[in-house]
Amino acid sequence: MPKHALRRVMAATTVAVGALALGLTDATAQATPATLDYVALGDSYSAGSGVLPIDLTNLICLRSTANYPHVIADATGARLKDVTCGAARTADFAQAQYPGVAPQLDALSTGTDLVTLTIGGNDNNTFINAITACGTAGVLSGGQGSPCKDKYGTSFEDEIEANTYPALKAALRDVGARAPHARVAALGYPWITPATADPSCFLRLPVAAGDVPYLRDIQAHLNDAVRRAAEETGATYVDFSGVSDGHDACEAPGTRWIEPLLFGSNVVPVHPNALGERRMAEHTMSVLGLS
């Protein structure tokens, strides 16, 4: 072959190989998604309060390194910034919850890709007041009747509607403003009580038979407030009403996601255990299409 013809062949081959390599590089880049910048906000259900191991960098927030945000980050390879904190209210998104604990919204930026949160259960002290009031009434009544419902009626739900619901909307709008490019997931709370009373559960969750569905209705109202607030602010609502049914605090260890008030395995009662945090993570990833 003449030298000039050979040079032309070699040049063409070099161009073809370069184009092939460039094509492979582009395909690889497209096949490998960018790492998500993930910020976890929220209260003790997000923090995994009571689940070991404890995050030693911030003991006051009772945050676990096995909470659902860490499970999601481990599964997706996301860069996690976890500012969840036990006892957080919606107001603590914009203000310091404790000295030295920055407002949770400060963790967000225009570069945030994903935000998850549970919030609202501590507004008006809804969870603690309802559980304490109904537990006390249950003990005094020997588990009979509906003394808590008879005394408090719609007061818990009225507070949710009047105060928590608008606060949730405002908080989610603030999240969207701070992280305008992020996908925001507002999680509902997994069921604490069964739909109807389980007499064998009274020693662990001392709520009168008629107040078991009463407490569940209060939680359903709170979750519905979270759902409506999410839908009205462009966030994704992660509904646990179906998947957590049959995994309430009255179920046996290994089945329940929520620990009971008494004789549970967590130092923080009426909160998700390690299994519950894992299942919350898995369902959230399923709803969001994360892998």
Q: For 96-127, write each residue's pLDDT tens digit.
A: 999 999 999 999 999 999 999 999 999 999 99
- The kind and range of the H/E element at 148 are helix 147-152
DSSP 163: I
pLDDT of residue 232: 98
Q: In the structure, what pLDDT confidence band is assigned to residue 14 with cuts at 50, 70 and 90?
A: very low
- How far apart are alpha carbons 177 and 108 in whole angstroms? 9
**125-182, pLDDT tens digit by residue?**
999 999 999 999 999 999 999 999 999 999 999 999 999 999 999 999 999 999 999 9
- Does the predicted TM-score (pTM) go above 0.85? yes
Which two structure tokens, joined as six digits, stand for 68?
């659902």
Catalytic residue annotation: 44, 271
pLDDT of residue 16: 38
- How far apart are alpha carbons 241 and 100 in whole angstroms? 36
Which backbone phi and psi does 79 adopt, to 5 degrees? -85, 110
